[in-house]
Chains A and B, each alone.
Chain A
Amino acid sequence: MAADRERVLVEQARGDCTAFGELYDFYLPRIYGFIFRRVQDRCVAEDLTSVTFQRALENVRRADFRNECFGGWLFRVASNAVVDHARRDRRFVSLADLAESEEPGDLALDALSAALDRDQLRRALLGLPAGHRDLLVMRFYDDLDTAELCAAFGCSRETLAVRMHRALRALRAAIAKEAADVA
C-alpha cells in the first residue's frame, strides 16, 4: 500500500470504520502469516491476530497515535503479541533453562534456515545472536520493507542499514567459522 494512501486511511480510521476495514483487508494476510510462522498453530495465530488488530484499532483512535508507517507498527504489535504468548507459555520452562529455551521467533528462523541450500549458511544463521537473527528473519522471510522494519524495530533508516550490515557481516563470519571448524 502506498505510504500516502496508508497515512490517509489511518487518519480516517479514527472515526471511519470503512477506512480501518481497508487497512485490515490489506494487512490481515501478512499479519496472520507473520504470526503463524512463529506459532505454527492456527488457533493461537487467530487469537494473536485478533489481539493485534484490536490493539491497532484502539491505538489509531487515540489522538496521540503517531501516524508513521502503520504497517511496520502493526508488525511490531504482532511481534509483541507473539512474545507475550511465548512468555505466558513458558511455564513449562524453568527459569534456569530460559536462556536455552526457544525464543518466539525460532520457528520462523527454523523455516528460513531449512530453505537454505548451504549447510554452513544454515548452521551459521542458527548460531547468530538473537538480535541479528530477528532482523534477518523479518527482512528475508517475512519480507518487510525498509520502512516497515524501521517501524518494527523503532529505529531510523540509517540505524537499520547499520544493523543489517552488521547482521550480514556476523553471518559471514559465522560461515567462515563453520568452514574452519569443518576443516
Chain B
Amino acid sequence: MSLDDRHDSQQLEGLAAELTEAGRVARAAFSRREIPDPAFAARLRAELMGEVEPGPEAGKRWRTRQVQTIVATRPVLAAMEPADLGADRAAHAGSLHPSVLWRMSTRVKPARWLAVGLAASVAIGGFLYGSTLLLPVRSEATASVAVATSLVRSGVSSELANGAPLHEGDEIKVAAGGQATLVMGASFVRMAPGSDVRLDSLTSNHVVVNQLSGRAYHRVAVGGSGDYEVVTGSVSWVASGTAFDLDRHAISTGEEVRGLALLDGLNLHDQQLQAALNQGQSAVVDLTVSGSTQRAPVIGQIDAQVLADSWLIQNAHLDAQAGLALGELAAAIGPTPLPSQTSVPIVARTAPPTVTPAARPTREPTPSPTPSPTRKPTPSPTRKPTPKPTPKPTGPLNLGKLTITNNGDGTYTFSWPKYKGTGFQYYKLLHGDAGTTPTYGLFDFWACNSDPAENSWRGTVPAGDYAVRLQVIDDSSAPAVIRAQTNVVHLKVNRSTPTLPPSQHLGALTVRRDGNGKYTFSWAPYTGGWRFDAYKLVYTTWPGSPSYLGGHVGYWDFGAGETSSGSIALPSGHWAFRVQAIGQPGGTGYEFARTAVVELVVP
C-alpha cells in the first residue's frame, strides 16, 4: 500500500468514525420515541401467533381474519350503545362520488379478539363493580386476555389461551412483551409484561393471588363477607377498597414491593407489621431474599410523578372506557394528560362531566356517589368516608351517519359527513366483528384519511360480517382523542368469486436516463376496465422476470391513473424491470396487466 493509499484509507476511516458517532448520537436522541408501544407489540404478536395455524385462506394477501370474540363481550358492548347498533344495519346510501384512495389500511390482520378481550375484561369488571346486586364471587376464574403468557399447572407449562379456565394452584407467567388479564368472579387483575402470579385460593368468598414477581393492577369487587388478598412474600395486601397496583421487583438486598392505593384503601400485614393505606397513599416494603419483611413499610403519598407511568395510564384509560371510577388515576388522564406511550385514546370532553357514568346501562339506579357497592360491610377505619365520584366524559361528538355503497365490483364506498370542528388529525374507518363497537386503538381500520375534505373511502372489503364506524382522531399528542364519530353500521360481505380477466399486455416499458443516477419509466395505461389499486414498478436481477406477487428485489408504487414514474433514483446493478397493474379483487392480490421486461444496467 502506498503512502497515498494509506492516507486515503485513513481519511475514509475518519469519516466513517464521524458517521458512526453521529449515528449513535441520533439513535440516542430518538431512543425513547423509537420504542414500540407495549400494547401494540403485544397485539401484533398475538395476531402473528394466531396466524400460524393454516386456515382456508392462509397466506393470502390483505386477508381479514375472522376471529372468535369472547362470548361475554357482545351483549355488554352492545348495551353500551344500543342506538348506534340498531340504527343503520342495512344502510345503503345513494350514489357517492368516490374519492382518491389515499392510504389504505395497511394493517391486514385485525386484532379484534384481543381488543374485544381487553374491553370485555374491563366491561365485565365495570358492570359488576357498579352493580348494587353484590354478586357473589364465582369460584371459577378465566383468562380473558392472554398474550405471550404461559400457564403452569401441576408442574406442566403450557401456553395460556384466551378464555381458558383457571384453577387454584395455577401459576401464570407473562413473558416480556406479553400481557394477561385474569378474571376471578367479579374481580380482575391485569398482569404487566414479565409478571408472575399464582392463584392460591379461588373460593367463593376468598380470593388469594400470590404475586411472585413483576407488576399487576388489581381491580377488586367482592361481595358480602368475601375478601381479596394479594400475597407478596410474607406480606399480605388485603383490599378494603377497589383498585390498587403492586410492583414486586428485585433489589440488591432482596426484593422491594410497592403498593399504590388508587381507589379506596388497602391494608397490609404480616407477622410483624400492620398498616393501612388510604386512597392516594403508597407503601414500599423491603423483603429479604427469603421473602420476609426487613423493616416497617415506608408510607407516602402518590404524586404526579408516580402517576405519570405508562402502565398506570394504560390501566386508567381502560377503566375509563369501561366507565369505572378512577380514583387517583383520574389525575393521570385528566384534562392535561401526562406523557404516555399508550395507544389507547381518550374520548373528547365536550360537555360538562356527569357524576353517574353513562356507560353502565345495566346498573341499578343509585343515588349514592359511593363508587364501591361491593366493598366489605365493615369499612376500614382508614377509608375515606365519602370517596370522590369520578367525572365521566360524555363522549365524542356525533358526526352523523356512515353510509356504505356496494359498487358491485367487489368494492364498497364508505362516506360520512365532513368534520368541521377543531383538533382534526385523521378520519379512521374502523371495523370489528358484527355486534362489537369499533373504537380507535382497539380495533383495526380500513382507511385513514388525513384531509378533512376527504370524507369517503372506496376499497375492497373481504368477506365477513362487520360492524363499521368512522371516528375523527386527534393524535397530535398522546393519548389520542376521539373528537367525533358516526354511528355503527352493520356490513355483511358475502364471499364472491369474480371471474377475473386475463392479464393485459401493456407493451414495452420505456426507460429514459435523466442523469445523476436517475431514470424515468413510462408505460401504456391499463384499459381492461377493472378497478385496480396501483401500478407496481418491480425489478429483479437480470436475467429474471420480476413480479410483485412473486419474486422481486424491490418495487415502487404508482397510482392507477399514472403512466410515468417521474425521475427516480435506481440502485446500482444489472436489473430486469417491469410494470404491473395490481388490484385486490376478493381481498387477494391479482395482476390485471403487465409490460414487457426491460433490461437496465445502473452504474
Q: Is the pair A85, B106 in contact by a Cβ cutoff of 8 Å? A: yes
Interface residues in B301-346 (C-beta closer than 8 Å to A): 343
Binds A, one of B8-16, B76-84, B206-214, B245-253: B8-16
Task: Give the distance in Å from the alpha carbon of A31 to the alpha carbon of B96 in the complex.
Answer: 39
Closest to A66 in B: B551
User: Are A20 and B48 interface neighbours, CB within 8 A?
Assistant: yes
Of the candidate stretches B39-47, B259-267, B284-292, B487-495, the one touching chain A is B39-47
Docked-complex contact B15 and A131, CB < 8 angstroms: no
In the complex, chain A residues whose CB is within 8 Å of the CB of B518: 99
| Chain A residue at minimal CB-CB distance from B552 | A80
| CB of B568 to closest CB in A, whole Å | 8
CB closest chain-B residue, reference A45: B36
The reply on B35 being an interface residue by CB < 8 A is: yes
Q: Is the interface of A mostly helix, strand, loop or mixed?
A: helix
B171 to chain A, nearest CB (A): 19
Let me know if B555 and A98 touch, CB within 8 A: no
Given A48, A116, A155, which contacts B106 in the complex, CB threshold below 8 Å?
A: A48
A98 close to B567 (CB less than 8 A): yes
Interface residues of B in 1-52 (CB under 8 A from A): 11-12, 15-16, 18-20, 22-23, 25-27, 29-30, 33-37, 40-41, 44-45, 47-49, 51-52
In the complex the two chains form, what is the Cα distance from A94 to B12 in whole Å? 39
| CB-CB contacts below 8 Å: A75-110 with B | 76, 79-81, 83-85, 87-89, 91, 95-96, 98-99, 103
A112 to B28, CA, bound (A): 11
Chain B, 446-483, contact with A by CB distance < 8 Å: what is the 0/1 string?
Answer: 00100000000000000000000000000100000000
Interface string of A133-170 (1 = CB under 8 A from B): 00010011111000000000111000000010100110
Binary contact track A20-54/B, C-beta < 8 Å → 1, others 0: 11001100110011001100001101111111011
Q: Is B61 an interface residue (CB 8 A)?
A: yes
Interface assignment of B275: CB less than 8 Å from any CB of chain A: no
Q: Which residue of A lies closest to B108 (CB)?
A: A54
Given A88-B557, A172-B12, A129-B18 contact (CB < 8 Å) = no
Q: Is A3 an interface residue (CB 8 A)?
A: no
The size of the chain A interface, using a CB distance under 8 A, is 71
Tell me how far the C-beta of B235 lies from the nearest C-beta in chain A, rounded to whole angstroms. Answer: 33
Q: What distance in Å separates the Cβ of A118 from its nearest Cβ neighbour in chain B?
A: 7
Query: A129, B517: Cβ atoms under 8 Å?
Result: yes
Whether B569 lies near A50 (C-beta < 8 A) is no
Report B-chain residues with C-beta under 8 Å of the C-beta of A169: 12
Choose from A48, A80, A139 the contact partner of B554 (Cβ within 8 Å). A80
Q: Tell me whether A61 and B22 are in contact (CB under 8 A).
A: no
For residue A177, give the distance in angstroms from its CB to the closest CB of chain B: 14
B569 touches which of A85, A130, A136 (Cβ 8 Å): A130
Q: Which of B516, B554, B570 has the most A CB atoms < 10 Å from its CB?
A: B554
Given known pairs A46-B37, A115-B22, the reply for A155 and B573 (CB within 8 Å) is yes
Q: Which of B35, B61, B562 contacts A58 (CB 8 A)?
A: B61
Q: Per DSSP, are chain B's interface residues mostly helix, strand or loop, or mixed?
A: mixed
Say whether B36 contacts A46, CB under 8 Å: yes
CA distance A20 to B36 in the complex (A): 18
Once the chains bind, are A50 and B29 in contact (CB under 8 Å)?
no
Q: Is B530 an interface residue (CB 8 A)?
A: no
Q: Give bound CA distance, A44 to B6, whole Å.
A: 46
Q: How many A-B residue pairs have CB under 8 A?
A: 186
> Does B553 sit at the interface, judged by CB under 8 A?
yes
B412 at the interface (CB under 8 A from A): no
Asked if A69 lies at the interface with its beta carbon under 8 angstroms from chain B, I say: no
- The interface residues of chain B lying within 8 Å CB-to-CB of A99 are 514, 518, 566-567
In the complex, whether B91 has a CB less than 8 A from a CB of chain A is: no
Q: Taking the complex as formed, is B532 at the interface, i.e. its CB lies under 8 A from any CB of chain A? A: no
Complex CA distance for A95 and B177, rounded to whole angstroms: 43
- Docked complex Cα distance between A42 and B440 (Å): 14
**Cβ of B176 under 8 Å from chain A:** yes
B569 contacts A131, CB within 8 Å? yes
How far is B516's CA from A55's CA once the two chains are assembled, in angstroms?
A: 33
Given contacts A54-B48, A98-B566, contact A76 B554 (CB under 8 A): yes
Contact status B12-A24, CB under 8 Å: no
Docked CA distance A87–B534 (Å): 10
Q: Pick from B33, B51, B448: contact of A43, CB below 8 A.
A: B448
Say yes or no: B106 contacts A61, CB within 8 Å.
no
What is the distance, in angstroms, from A136's C-beta to the closest C-beta of chain B?
Answer: 6
Contacts of B53 in A (CB 8 A): 17
- Of the A-B pairs whose beta carbons lie under 8 Å apart in the complex, a sample of 6, sorted by A's number, is A32-B36, A54-B51, A57-B51, A96-B566, A117-B22, A172-B11
Residues of B within 8 A of A (CB): 11-12, 15-16, 18-20, 22-23, 25-27, 29-30, 33-37, 40-41, 44-45, 47-49, 51-53, 58-59, 61, 100, 102-109, 148, 176-177, 343, 426, 448, 475, 514, 516-518, 534, 541, 553-559, 562, 564, 566-573
Q: 20 new A-B pairs (CB below 8 Å) besides A20-B48, A111-B29, A140-B22?
A: A21-B148, A29-B36, A32-B36, A33-B27, A47-B105, A50-B107, A57-B51, A85-B103, A95-B564, A99-B514, A99-B566, A112-B23, A117-B22, A130-B569, A131-B570, A140-B19, A143-B23, A163-B572, A168-B16, A172-B11
> What are the 7 tightest A-B residue pairs by CB atom distance, in nearest-first order?
A98-B566, A17-B52, A33-B34, A87-B557, A130-B569, A140-B23, A140-B19
